[in-house]
A = this chain, B = another copy of it.
């Protein structure tokens, strides 16, 4: 595991279970990236999400493999090559991702105004 948790995930709450799989900073974006089912190399994912530190994507992709949301294929070549592909389990989260995407687009302006003067202190 990437991060050792001292407090276990609360499995009694279905809401928190679902959240725990997608709440990390880039996981929802990764799922959105892989949604078409086309396998992508880590370097491609990095380029699609340039604001994310490559190390975080590594870590979050590995967690998503552990959670069964994506699968990883390693090709024994040099220079090294590997690919990540979304699984059926990962695909089953896409409707949720879509609703969040839709909601975010619809309510954009409200928060654009609200947080326009964010980092001035």
CA A95 to CA B107, docked complex, whole Å: 15
Q: Number of A residues contacting the other chain (C-beta, 8 Å)? A: 48
- Using an 8 Å CB-CB cutoff, how does the interface string of A68-104 with B read, 1 for contact, 0 for none? 1000000000000000000001001101110111111
Q: Are B15 and A104 in contact, with the CB atoms below 8 A?
A: yes
CA A67 to CA B111, docked complex, whole Å: 8
Identify the 3 closest CB pairs spanning chains A and B, nearest first.
Answer: A14-B104, A18-B100, A18-B104
Shortest distance between the CB of A98 and any CB in chain B (Å): 10
Which residues on the B side are within 8 Å of A13 (C-beta)?
29, 104
Shortest distance between the CB of A93 and any CB in chain B (Å): 7
- Using an 8 Å CB-CB cutoff, how does the interface string of A1-40 with B read, 1 for contact, 0 for none? 0001111111101111111001101001100100000000
